[in-house]
């Protein structure tokens, strides 16, 4: 990167069913929180991650709409759509903007208002991140794809459903300490195991919920960060990679190639290895997705994520704490905002401001946001400065 880039402000709203809020009001609240956190700098450009406001809210052209609501009428504003990884894609674009020298102060954010529709309609809208001609047309949903992969994983590696349920329990335990979480409560192993079946062997508690939410970050050149805040976090590495769009064309159903490539390139850019990472926010849209992320990011051998879960290695006090926020599973998954929520959590962790869910002495963190079933992956590396 031409210039080093730092995060100087973060803002979030609680992921929830915000019946009385609009897409505009949710984002405005998160953005104002981020601006206040950064000392109210003058924003020069806006990038907003959003998957599907046109279908969820009958509203397109949302970047100018949101810029106008913040009084940013004259600045460049761009909506970034990359399915489930729209938030991380907005951060990726904002990072390159500041690194290139085009702008100094950039706001990146994400927003999704998903609860103003029926569950069936929401499921259909979310399915549009998969291939509509060859997969969705035949009835193959994201839950169905994850279910097939989970069954193959269980058979190949001899893993039982209890291990996936223990991952879910850990996510809810983390979320119980997060005031921004949609489900801030603990659950029992029995509840996780006996929840309603969705697509065998996946049960309801294996799935991330839909929700309304918004989050925002303020970026600036690292050498100017001290002009605004005393504690800043540098984005030391970032990479985006893709896999085949059609799931059935994959050579290996149990390895997310895009995650492997994005993470290894981001690590190289940041001059780190997986062993250097103190905390990670990974894309656990389903419990099996969480397992694959742990392995493909280099935290466990293939087929051994269950050991990391059962041995407590991913807990807040473990060797590699995973999703202190509660992850998509329990913090919630307002799709276009998820990647920004992940980044905001890591920034709070590296600033030592994560409260009861604080990972001790966290200095290096990563975020991992994917779309479809690993069709694309974006990894960012953050370092405390």
163 with 283, same domain? yes
- Based on the fold, state whether residues 301 and 221 are members of the same structural domain: no
Q: Give helix then strand counts, H and E, for the chain.
A: 13, 11
**pLDDT at position 135:** 84
Q: What is the pLDDT of residue 138?
A: 83
pLDDT computed for residue 139 by the predictor? 81
Do residues 82 and 139 both lie within one domain? no
- Per cent of the chain over pLDDT 70 is 100
CB 369 within 8 A of CB 338: yes
The structural domain count of the chain equals 2
Q: What is the pLDDT of residues 290-342, one digit of tens each?
A: 999 999 999 999 999 999 999 999 999 999 999 999 999 999 999 999 999 99
Q: Does residue 204 register a pLDDT over 90?
A: yes
List active site positions: 84, 333
Can you give the pLDDT at residue 312?
97
| Two tokens, residue 73 | 């009428």
The set of residues, in sequence order, having a beta carbon less than 8 Å from that of 369 and lying 6+ positions away, is 84, 85, 87, 88, 283, 338, 339, 342, 377, 378
Residue 80 sits in which domain range? 5-118+211-227
Q: Give 274's pLDDT tier (boundaries 50, 70, 90).
A: very high
Beta strands at 233-242 and 279-281: parallel, antiparallel or unpaired: unpaired
Closest CA to 142 of 73, 199, 219: 199
- Phi and psi at 375, nearest 5°, equal -60, -40
Domain boundary residue, one of 200, 227, 254: 227
What tokens appear for 238 in the block?
């970032």
Q: Are residues 152 and 103 in the same domain?
A: no
Residue 86 and residue 171 in one domain: no
Residues 6+ positions from 151 with CB-CB distance below 8 Å: 200, 201
- CATH code of the domain in which 76 resides: 3.40.47.10
Q: Residue 315: enclosing H or E segment and its boundaries?
A: none
pLDDT tens column, 114-156: 999 888 888 889 889 989 888 888 888 899 999 999 999 999 9
Residues counted in the chain: 385
Confidence (pTM): 0.97
Q: Are 211 and 329 in contact (CB under 8 A)?
A: no
- Could you tell me if 31 and 107 are in contact, meaning their C-beta atoms sit under 8 angstroms apart? yes
Q: In this predicted structure, what is the pLDDT of residue 30?
A: 98
């Amino acid at each position: 990167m031409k210039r080093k880039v730092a995060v100087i402000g973060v803002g979030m709203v609680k992921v929830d069913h915000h019946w009385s809020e609009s897409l505009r009001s949710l984002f405005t609240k998160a953005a104002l929180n981020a601006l206040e956190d950064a000392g109210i700098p003058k924003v020069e450009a806006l990038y907003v991650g959003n998957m599907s406001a046109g279908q969820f809210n009958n509203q397109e052209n949302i970047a100018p709409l949101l810029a106008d609501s913040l009084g940013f009428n004259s600045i460049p504003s761009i909506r970034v759509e990359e399915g489930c990884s729209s938030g991380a894609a907005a951060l990726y674009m904002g990072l390159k903007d500041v690194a290139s020298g085009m702008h100094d102060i950039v706001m990146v954010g994400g927003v999704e208002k998903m609860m103003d529709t029926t569950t069936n309609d929401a499921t259909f809208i979310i399915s549009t991140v998969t291939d509509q001609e060859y997969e969705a047309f035949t009835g193959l949903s994201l839950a169905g794809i994850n279910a097939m992969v989970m069954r193959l994983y269980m058979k190949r590696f001899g893993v039982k459903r209890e291990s996936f349920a223990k991952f879910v329990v850990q996510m809810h335990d983390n979320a119980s300490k997060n005031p921004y979480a949609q489900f801030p409560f603990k659950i029992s192993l029995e509840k996780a195991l006996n929840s309603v079946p969705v697509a065998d062997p996946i049960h309801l508690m294996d799935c991330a919920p839909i929700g309304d939410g918004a989050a925002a970050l303020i970026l600036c050149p690292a050498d100017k960060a001290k002009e605004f805040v005393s504690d800043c976090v540098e984005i030391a590495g970032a990479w985006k990679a893709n896999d085949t769009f059609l799931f059935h064309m994959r050579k290996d159903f149990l390895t997310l190639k895009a995650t492997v490539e994005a993470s290894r390139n981001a690590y190289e850019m940041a001059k780190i290895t997986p062993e250097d990472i103190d905390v990670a926010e990974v894309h656990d849209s389903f419990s099996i997705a969480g397992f694959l992320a742990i392995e493909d990011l280099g935290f466990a051998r293939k087929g051994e994520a269950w050991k990391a879960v059962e041995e407590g290695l991913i807990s807040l006090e473990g060797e590699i704490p995973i999703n202190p926020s509660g992850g998509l599973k329990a913090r919630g998954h307002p799709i276009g905002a998820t990647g920004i929520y992940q980044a905001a959590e890591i920034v709070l962790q590296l600033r030592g401001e994560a409260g009861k869910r604080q990972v001790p002495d966290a200095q290096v963190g990563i975020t991992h946001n994917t779309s479809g079933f690993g069709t694309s992956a974006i990894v960012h590396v953050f370092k405390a400065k």
